[in-house]
Amino acid sequence: MDNHSDIERTVMRRVHLIRILQLVISTVVFATLASIAALWGIGREVWVARVFENAPPNLDDLPRFYLAAFTHTRLIVQALIVLTSLSLLFLAREVVRFFGTMAAPSRA
């Protein structure tokens, strides 16, 4: 039966929106807090300005420079960099999923 009342469509739309927000907000908050904490830890362990100052001006040499900088740091810095990268990727995925569900046509 496709004869849904306006009230039923409105209520179901709100239920779906609340469910989506509940899933997205909790993971987004976690990913944001994890990336902020990891960036803070990196800032405490590494003089980031010096890393940027020592970077080569040639863009072709940048990947090799940053790989060498990564491999020659302490284990805690490497772990924080990986944590930051993963949490930012997870955050980007959640944002894309959120806007994907908002753009999807309603099935109600």
Domain boundaries, the chain: 6-103
Please tell me what DSSP assigns to residue 72.
T
Q: pTM (2 decimals)?
A: 0.67
What's the pLDDT score for residue 86? 94
What's the pLDDT score for residue 21? 84
Packing angle of the helix pair 75-103, 6-45 (nearest 10 deg):
160
Pairwise CA distance, residues 103 & 39, whole Å: 32
Per-residue model confidence as pLDDT tens for the chain (108 residues):
567 788 888 888 898 888 888 877 788 888 888 999 999 999 999 998 999 899 999 999 999 999 999 999 999 999 999 999 999 999 899 888 878 877 766 655
What's the pLDDT score for residue 27? 80
What's the pLDDT score for residue 7? 87
Place of tokens 């039966």: 1
